[in-house]
Structure 1
Amino acid sequence: MTSLLDTINSPADLRQLPRAQLRQLADELRDYVLHSVSNTGGHLSSNLGTVELTVALHYVFNTPEDRLVWDVGHQTYAHKILTGRRERMASLRQFGGLSGFPRRDESPYDTFGTAHSSTSISAALGMALAARQLGQERNAVAIIGDGAMSAGMAFEAMNNAGVYDDARMLVVLNDNDMSISPPVGALNRYLAQLMSGRFYASAKNVGKRVLGVAPPLLELAKRIESHAKGLVVPATLFENFGFNYIGPIDGHDLDSLIPTLENIKQLMLDGDGPQFLHVVTKKGQGYKLAEADPVAYHGPGKFDPAMGLQKSSVPSKQTFTQVFGQWLCDMAVQDKRLVAITPAMREGSGMVEFHKRFPERYHDVGIAEQHAVTFAAGMACEGLKPVLAIYSTFLQRGYDQLIHDVALQNLPVVFALDRAGLVGADGATHAGAYDIAFLRCVPNMSIACPADENECRKLLTSAFEQDHPVAVRYPRGAGAGVAPDAGLTSLPFAKGEIRREGAGIAILAFGTLLYPALEAAEKLGCTVVNMRWAKPLDIELLLQVAKTHQGLVTLEEGSVMGGAGSAVSEALQAAAISMPVLHLGLKDEFTEHGEPAKLLALQGLDAAGIEASIRARFPG
């Protein structure tokens, strides 16, 4: 039943409700989120945990004039529902439908695109100072999760924000003790210590207990606000950045949230500088199954809310992520030097089993990709063999470190690049479209592109055997279904193979598009080459094929600009070979979210699209 929610078409409608009705609205909203996600799939635990906070923020602040910046943006389903997109939730994460993250072109209430973490404080500060410069009376609010607070960028922004005493800015720390993977690091320990009942209760009274015997001293401490705050709560970390710290408060208690936010809004209006509100929420709140297992319900597919997630009786194909996870464990048994590193993506990168079996060799550094890369470099300097499991899109954040700290020093770090290519429902922000282009221009780097699950395992071994940095890129989900061999055999470094002998045209396939290339080649009668390595290229094989064919087609699930196809053209030019070359890959555009097969077809990278492009370029 959503009788009250059905009347809310914008936050302006929400703000007309008496406060006594907000509890009912929150209950209806939570139920709507649960049943909506159960029908479409998407992020669930995080969104169930932010229902009351979303209601309170839109109730107190004059959105969209006041800016809300959500971080990470997968916790914004309630926000979308309250801002006029309730009826479109059935299209969530589907092609042409609502994005799973805030998008500026989707709604004026989505003030900043936030699909990667730890950017909200920087953006909100920019908005607050822009308003000041333009003479506009508005507030900027960043809502950031405790996992996202572990990234250096968040602290860089806080360090900058603290010097602007008149910035009308609020940072809301949504502390749910849960990023995608279990939270790690000193900051998380600090927050946990802060929230432990005995510690907090004693800290709250320590000032009175110590100074109460001398009332003049207690009064003096109260006047010296920074010192008094340090005595009342352990908030000095945030206050030393120049923020006025408030909290922690219950993020599910509207009777606490709303008056607190109203008071903070007045402080911002009075020019009291940047504010910091610490709220404590629970992932999966209100749905017992998600509360009990927030990781499993972080991003489920479709399911029956009454039954919860069910294991399928039909065995599914092994994913590339699972292949990597098994290889990692097997290689760790064989080579004691192996250490595994993840930036807060233990589950997503398939490292749960490794963590269980080799805890002393497993390192989750939190959402800190730059640190992860240099941390791996430091380990490699001392003779270890680091394997950094990282999504292609997240490695972009560690690019400077990859160049200066790993490649320049020619250190043997293996980069296991998950989610290379298109990623389906997560869309452009998570697509691994650029890794070949940005890696192949870096000296000492090599790039392997396995065509299937078996090649993935073997090329990971090949990469591990090298004494320089190597990236192995593989897509989300399953591939052709080629079962990996049990051993740890490798494939020859920088060598490809001819998979189909034909005539006239040769398709040079990099990665999993080998299989649609083989399908298209059956109708075209052309040669298909499994190149395997984008850098270094198998020059001998390339020149052999070039001399025996009239045209070449390069094929990759990555950016055409600067990608593997560009490498082929450069190699041909260096060999003084002039021949027609067709480059097929991801176009110079951001690819929308949607079903992966449909997206590939729209890019012309399915078998039919490949065939059509080749016939158009090489008629007859």
Structure 2
Amino acid sequence: MTILETIKGPHDLKGLSEPDLARLPGEIREFLVNAVARTGGHLGPNLGVVELTLALHRVFDSPTDRIVWDTGHQTYVHKLLTGRQDFSKLRGKGGLSGYPSREESEHDIVENSHASTALGWADGLAKARRVRGEDGHVVAVIGDGALTGGMAWEALNNIAAAKDRPLIIVVNDNERSYAPTIGGLAHHLAALRATDGYERMLAWGKDVLQRTPVVGSTVYDALHGAKKGFKDAFAPQGLFEDLGLKYLGPIDGHDLGAVESALRGAKRFGGPVLVHCLTEKGRGYAPALDHEEDHFHSVGVMDPLTCAPLAPAAAPSWTSVFGDEMVRIGEEREDVVALTAAMLHPVGLGRFAGRFPDRVWDVGIAEQHAAVSAAGLATGGLHPVVAVYATFLNRAFDQLLMDVALHRCGVTFVLDRAGVTGTDGASHNGMWDMSILQVVPGLRIAAPRDAGQLRAQLREAVAVDDAPTLLRFPKESVGPEVPAVGRVGGMDVLHAAEVPEVLLVCVGVMASVCLRAADLLEARGIGCTVVDPRWVKPVDPALPPLAARHRLVAVVEDNSRAGGVGSAVSLALGDAEVDVPVRRFGIPEQFLAHAKRAEVLADVGLTPVEIAGRIGASLAPADRPGNGPAAPSAQGEN
């Protein structure tokens, strides 16, 4: 039996012998590599926090002491140490979440997979303990990348003012989020990291003292408690201390004894303390360390020895199609520039950055700043393309509304991972953008159905310089081209029946689902017209008169039903006094459990069989006329 298999909870860590404790990090890393290779998941970040997580659970008493993890993809080790060692279905339906989950464990406080929020949570938890007269500590673990987010600094401003509140901030500094951390904070942390005199002195002291008989290790442990004094002599004063936070570090985050010593010192201090730990993303796994792009931030199913992917070769991704087209557009137009929020490669801007390094900016985990900076770029005569995950644009709604749209700035937002993403769970599903953004005046939203449409609509978007535009596409691979058979207004007709009764309005990638649903309905004698609006906001003026020629309109979208495209279509028909019932098929107003995208879509009824069945049931034969209205022309109407 391995040492890891004997760990059923954090209490089992406290009684480990020194030899067993020395073996445990290696066992954990071996477990992680083999387990995550079978399922896919966030490998690099977790390899980097093994000793740090062990130290946290040896020094503090979770869940009495509250440990809050920022960007919770770094909690696999935490799960292992809190009784969750079955990784066989990690991120799969019925298996462990890839993030903290209250349903899984009392040790998971915040189901946090968005960055920069842990410090605000910790501030609130610590205040609550003070008001209720409760003992115990609150610990927030935040990465250097997450510290680039404005929310983190808003929280620090409040935490620093609480001189007598026991709150510990652990900065897991591995110099990167997805990619290397950028910005002024990164330079400051680098200065603290790179104080050669300080680091050389500590390395010399450790080597000499630990070779000194009898008293050497004791003296070295004592010196760990005095590291703050050494830091003052050899390193620049930290801006954290200027804020009023006690600062301990920098500390080797892979030296378990050093991290424990620092955390115990922080625990004894009565006020807020920041413990700065230096870690290495991908630690202990050479292929991750050799992967310069992101140190295996997230991997798919692979051979753990060769790192060769084991899943079948996939078709090109939506992200790669976007990235390639951006390079082509950049070569044609010098005014097109790009911004992203700490996700240069995940959103497909890596090639653009390589080709045009002076025309792309990674602003860190700061979506709000990205939107406002884009407004400035547009006002300055450029056309910025802001590429982020759909779920993260939620943070920048006010800036999109009041800074970009109000000023009619020509900014294009590109939302990757739109709709159901699946395995990353509730927080990563991009299922709210088409609802939230319906209220933004002047904004145009495109939902491409295939790669050709993505390329075409991206070009249409960057051609607009007097209003914001937005494109959205999913995480999955691009499917086959879906040809149009005609045109009505600005909409593509994908299928036209001789005697249509149902108008199926498909949003983006739901086109193939609608076409299959139409086949099922026509097998039951119900004729369908299937249209792709292409631009789903605003509603095409040609849609109401087309709808008037049908008995039922059904809108199918991979977005929340509440306030989405279906709602906009209903409103447009009402304003045009077209009295045709509208059925809305979308994602229910709930947070979705993690599972594969196809499984989630099936669970919420977004399948051809479910859609056809519900439409067919609403058009009972007795209610249908013998002859339906004439079909729309496949050659196009205006």
Equivalent position SS for 2:557: strand
Matched, 1:157 2:155: yes
Residue of 510, 516, 521 corresponding to 2:513 = 516
Count of equivalent residues: 586
Q: CA deviation at 1:616?
A: 2.6
C-alpha distance in 2 between matches for 1:336 and 1:236: 41
Which residue pairs with 2:210 in the alignment?
Answer: none
Contact 1:424 1:593 in 2 (8 A): yes
Matched, 1:496 2:494: no
C-alpha distance in 2 between matches for 1:481 and 1:107: 42
- Residues 469 and 199 of structure 1: CA distance in aligned 2, closer, same or farther (over 3 Å): farther
Q: CA deviation at 1:19?
A: 4.3
Contact 2:72 2:100 in 1 (8 A): yes
Q: CA RMSD in A?
A: 2.2
Which residue pairs with 1:189 in the alignment?
Answer: 187
Contact 1:454 1:483 in 2 (8 A): no
C-alpha distance in 1 between matches for 2:616 and 2:359: 52
Q: Pairwise mapping of residues 198-209 of structure 1 onto structure 2 (< 5 A)?
A: 198=196, 200=198
Q: Which amino acid aligns with 2:146?
A: A
TM normalised by structure 1 equals 0.91
Equivalent position SS for 1:524: helix
Matched, 1:398 2:396: yes
- Bigger mean CA deviation after superposition, 530-539 or 455-464: 530-539
Equivalent position SS for 1:600: helix
Q: CA deviation at 1:38?
A: 1.1
Q: Pairwise mapping of residues 265-280 of structure 1 onto structure 2 (< 5 A)?
A: 265-267=267-269, 271=270, 273-280=271-278
Q: Pairwise mapping of residues 529-568 of structure 1 onto structure 2 (< 5 A)?
A: 529-540=531-542, 542-568=543-569
Q: Pairwise mapping of residues 401-416 of structure 1 onto structure 2 (< 5 A)?
A: 401-416=399-414
Q: Which amino acid aligns with 2:541?
A: I
C-alpha distance in 2 between matches for 1:433 and 1:618: 29
- Residues 226 and 37 of structure 1: CA distance in aligned 2, closer, same or farther (over 3 Å): closer
Cα deviation 1:543-572 (Å, max 9, x = unaligned): 232221111101111011100000111011
Cα deviation 1:482-529 (Å, max 9, x = unaligned): 399xxxxxx999821221112111111111101110011012121111
Contact 2:302 2:310 in 1 (8 A): no
C-alpha distance in 2 between matches for 1:351 and 1:521: 37
Which residue pairs with 2:35 in the alignment?
Answer: 36
Q: Which amino acid aligns with 2:52?
A: L
Cα deviation 1:341-364 (Å, max 9, x = unaligned): 000111110111111100000111
Which residue pairs with 2:240 in the alignment?
Answer: 238
Contact 1:40 1:92 in 2 (8 A): yes
Q: CA deviation at 1:588?
A: 1.0
C-alpha distance in 2 between matches for 1:226 and 1:63: 27
C-alpha distance in 1 between matches for 2:553 and 2:471: 25
Contact 1:48 1:286 in 2 (8 A): yes
C-alpha distance in 2 between matches for 1:246 and 1:46: 22
Which residue pairs with 1:220 in the alignment?
Answer: none
Contact 1:174 1:278 in 2 (8 A): yes
Cα deviation 1:46-83 (Å, max 9, x = unaligned): 00000111111000101110011111100000100110
Q: Pairwise mapping of residues 6-17 of structure 1 onto structure 2 (< 5 A)?
A: 6-17=5-16
Which residue pairs with 1:213 in the alignment?
Answer: none
Q: Which amino acid aligns with 2:472?
A: R
C-alpha distance in 2 between matches for 1:176 and 1:198: 18
- Residues 19 and 507 of structure 1: CA distance in aligned 2, closer, same or farther (over 3 Å): same
Q: Pairwise mapping of residues 117-516 of structure 1 onto structure 2 (< 5 A)?
A: 117-198=115-196, 200=198, 232-267=234-269, 271=270, 273-293=271-291, 295=294, 297-310=296-309, 316-467=314-465, 468-482=467-481, 495-502=490-497, 503-516=500-513
Contact 1:203 1:233 in 2 (8 A): no
Q: CA deviation at 1:203?
A: 11
Contact 2:585 2:606 in 1 (8 A): yes
C-alpha distance in 2 between matches for 1:228 and 1:398: 42
Which residue pairs with 2:589 in the alignment?
Answer: 588
Q: CA deviation at 1:40?
A: 1.1
Contact 1:440 1:534 in 2 (8 A): no
Equivalent position SS for 1:90: coil
Q: CA deviation at 1:178?
A: 1.6
Which residue pairs with 2:635 in the alignment?
Answer: none
Contact 1:555 1:584 in 2 (8 A): yes
Q: CA deviation at 1:187?
A: 1.1
- Residues 300 and 135 of structure 1: CA distance in aligned 2, closer, same or farther (over 3 Å): same
Equivalent position SS for 1:86: coil
- Residues 227 and 60 of structure 1: CA distance in aligned 2, closer, same or farther (over 3 Å): closer
Which residue pairs with 2:55 in the alignment?
Answer: 56
Equivalent position SS for 2:88: helix
Q: CA deviation at 1:200?
A: 4.4
Q: CA deviation at 1:265?
A: 1.1
Q: Which amino acid aligns with 1:30?
A: R
Q: Which amino acid aligns with 2:23?
A: Q
Q: Which amino acid aligns with 1:501?
A: A
Which residue pairs with 1:219 in the alignment?
Answer: none
Equivalent position SS for 1:113: coil
Q: Which amino acid aligns with 2:285?
A: Y
C-alpha distance in 2 between matches for 1:296 and 1:122: 28
Cα deviation 1:284-326 (Å, max 9, x = unaligned): 11111112216252111111212223498x7531111111101
Could you list the runs of 5+ residues in structure 1 that have no partner in the other structure? 205-224, 485-490
Q: Which amino acid aligns with 2:175?
A: D
Contact 1:318 1:481 in 2 (8 A): no
Cα deviation 1:204-238 (Å, max 9, x = unaligned): 9xxxxxxxxxxxxxxxxxxxx99997555323300
Equivalent position SS for 1:91: coil
Contact 2:37 2:302 in 1 (8 A): yes
Cα deviation 1:389-416 (Å, max 9, x = unaligned): 1111010111111111100001000001
Q: Which amino acid aligns with 2:477?
A: A
- Residues 166 and 20 of structure 1: CA distance in aligned 2, closer, same or farther (over 3 Å): farther
- Residues 90 and 545 of structure 1: CA distance in aligned 2, closer, same or farther (over 3 Å): same
Equivalent position SS for 1:387: strand
Q: CA deviation at 1:263?
A: 1.8
Cα deviation 1:166-185 (Å, max 9, x = unaligned): 11100001011121022211
Contact 2:49 2:279 in 1 (8 A): yes
C-alpha distance in 2 between matches for 1:199 and 1:337: 46
- Bigger mean CA deviation after superposition, 372-381 or 601-610: 601-610
Equivalent position SS for 1:425: coil
C-alpha distance in 1 between matches for 2:452 and 2:100: 38
Q: Which amino acid aligns with 1:496?
A: M
Could you list the runs of 5+ residues in structure 2 that have no partner in the other structure? 203-226, 523-527, 622-638
Which residue pairs with 1:487 in the alignment?
Answer: none
Contact 2:198 2:230 in 1 (8 A): no
Matched, 1:106 2:104: yes
C-alpha distance in 1 between matches for 2:482 and 2:582: 33
- Bigger mean CA deviation after superposition, 256-265 or 375-384: 256-265
Contact 2:289 2:295 in 1 (8 A): no
Q: Which amino acid aligns with 1:471?
A: L
- Residues 260 and 69 of structure 1: CA distance in aligned 2, closer, same or farther (over 3 Å): same
- Bigger mean CA deviation after superposition, 288-297 or 56-65: 288-297
Q: Which amino acid aligns with 1:174?
A: N
C-alpha distance in 2 between matches for 1:69 and 1:493: 53
TM normalised by structure 2 equals 0.88
C-alpha distance in 1 between matches for 2:22 and 2:407: 58
- Residues 483 and 19 of structure 1: CA distance in aligned 2, closer, same or farther (over 3 Å): farther
